[in-house]
């Protein structure tokens, strides 16, 4: 049921086909690996995070910096304060 709801929400947005596929499909892609790496990182699943990062040629040791930079950019994009991340 949740998968059907996610499909409906994602398909109602104006997202590129590659993003829709990464969010809703079982098919492997680089973007799907990036999204799952972020999800593993957020959940503290370090083994999975490292394994995924290596599979997409992302330096695991630099992943925290990339994540923090992404949070800062998202806050700036949404005109939110970024002092919590910097």
CA 27/CA 46 separation, integer angstroms:
23
Predicted local confidence at residue 34, as pLDDT: 92
Cβ-based burial of 22 (10 A; exposed 0-12, middle 13-18, buried ≥19): buried
Residue range 21-48, pLDDT digits in tens: 998 888 889 999 999 999 999 999 999 9
Residue range 51-74, pLDDT digits in tens: 999 999 999 999 999 999 998 998
Predicted local confidence at residue 2, as pLDDT: 61
pTM, whole model, 2 decimals?
A: 0.76
Residue 7 has φ and ψ, to the nearest 5°, of -55, -45
pLDDT band for 86, please (50, 70, 90 cuts). Answer: low
């Amino acid at each position: 049921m949740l998968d059907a709801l996610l499909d409906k929400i994602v398909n109602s947005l104006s997202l590129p086909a590659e993003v829709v596929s990464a969010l809703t499909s079982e098919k492997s892609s680089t973007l799907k690996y990036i999204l799952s790496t972020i999800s593993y990182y957020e959940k503290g699943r370090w083994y999975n995070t490292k394994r995924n990062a290596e599979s997409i040629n992302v330096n695991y040791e630099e992943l925290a910096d990339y994540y923090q930079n992404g949070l800062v950019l998202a806050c700036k994009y949404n005109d939110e304060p970024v002092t919590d991340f910097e």
